[in-house]
Amino acid sequence: MKILLTNDDGIYAEGLYALYKKLSKNFDVTVCAPEVEQSAIGHAITMRRPLRVQKANGNAKLSGYAVNGTPADCVKIAVRTLLKKKPDLVISGINHGPNLGADVLYSGTVSAAAEGAILGIPSIAVSLATYQNHDFRGASEIMLKLAKLVQKTGLPNGMLLNVNVPAVPMSKIRGILATKQGRSLYQENFVKRTDPRGRMYYWLTGKVKWLKKPKDSDIKAIEEKYVSVTPLQFDLTAYDFMPKLKEILGK
């Protein structure tokens, strides 16, 4: 199986290297990732400046392509131009920090996997649910298992898996659960500051607030030390509201 590996933390990120080291022992892995961090950039693509691709060597750890663009750019240009053959699987990660609830709309990690799904390739996004004390070994081992499962069973066209791994030793992970998105909201604050030239600017800060986390949600699974696997598709139509909307519009 040929795997395209990408991320949003940049080509020299520890999570990317840990996953590459694990997967490349079993599969044919090509890395194509942003040259610098692109966290929370969502599904942006580059249209108003040229994309530049350079061969990168992560301090002799891995070789791959570094792109001066977004995670979605990396998947597009790899599939359309850089690879001789379409990959069998796209994996994005391992992200530094969780992607739960509404995070999937902002996440460059999830968006890279979504681009793979749009291109008709089975895709997985994977995140380690902590912003500090990263140990990616457990998440890498779990991704090896999931890659083998997807190789065997495939995924429906246009669907991706969003995987979140609790930041605990493998011995304390209680299992793997199929989950749905919980609901989250960022309590945001814009800190007002002044630069050395006296010009005002704002710096976004804040923290996440969990609005709904039912028992079968991604948020609850992580809290209870389970690996969360959420199937995502990007048809955002509110089907339940369609009859009411037709009534309102008189159709």
209 or 10: which leads in pLDDT: 10
CA angle 45, 39, 48 (to 5 degrees): 25
Q: What's the average model confidence in pLDDT over 79-93?
A: 96
Handedness of CA 69, 71, 74, 79 (dihedral sign): negative
Which stretch of 53-57, 175-179, 230-234 has the lowest confidence by average pLDDT? 53-57
The domain spans of the chain are: 2-181+213-249
- 114 close to 68: Cβ distance less than 8 angstroms: no
Q: What's the average model confidence in pLDDT over 57-73?
A: 84
Q: What's the average model confidence in pLDDT over 12-24?
A: 95
Which two tokens mark 24? Answer: 């490349």
- 38 close to 108: Cβ distance less than 8 angstroms: yes
Residues facing residue 6 across a β-bridge: 92
Cα–Cα distances in angstroms (integers) from residue 97 to residues 62, 129, 133, 243, in the given order: 22, 5, 11, 39
Pairwise CA distance, residues 72 & 87, whole Å = 15
pLDDT at residue number 58 = 56
Class of domain 2-181+213-249: alpha beta
Average pLDDT, the chain: 93
Residues facing residue 212 across a β-bridge: 183
Is the pLDDT score of 60 beyond 60? no
- C-beta atoms surrounding 209 within 10 Å: 11
**pLDDT tens figures, 132-151:** 878 999 999 999 999 999 99
Question: Distance between terminal CA atoms of the chain?
Answer: 49
pLDDT at residue number 213 = 77
Question: Would you place residue 183 in the very low, low, confident or very high pLDDT band (cuts 50, 70, 90)?
Answer: confident
Share of the chain above pLDDT 70, in %: 96
228 or 189: which leads in pLDDT: 228
Q: What's the average model confidence in pLDDT over 226-250?
A: 94
> 191: left (phi > 0), else alpha (psi -120 to 50), else beta?
beta
Which H or E element spans position 36? none
pLDDT at residue number 1 = 95
If we measure between CA atoms, which residue out of 10, 11, 13, 14 comes closest to residue 135? 14
Question: Would you place residue 234 in the very low, low, confident or very high pLDDT band (cuts 50, 70, 90)?
Answer: confident
Question: Would you place residue 45 in the very low, low, confident or very high pLDDT band (cuts 50, 70, 90)?
Answer: very high
Residue 175 three-state SS? coil
Share of the chain above pLDDT 90, in %: 84
Q: Between β-strands 63-67 and 28-34, what pairing exists: parallel, antiparallel or unpaired?
A: parallel
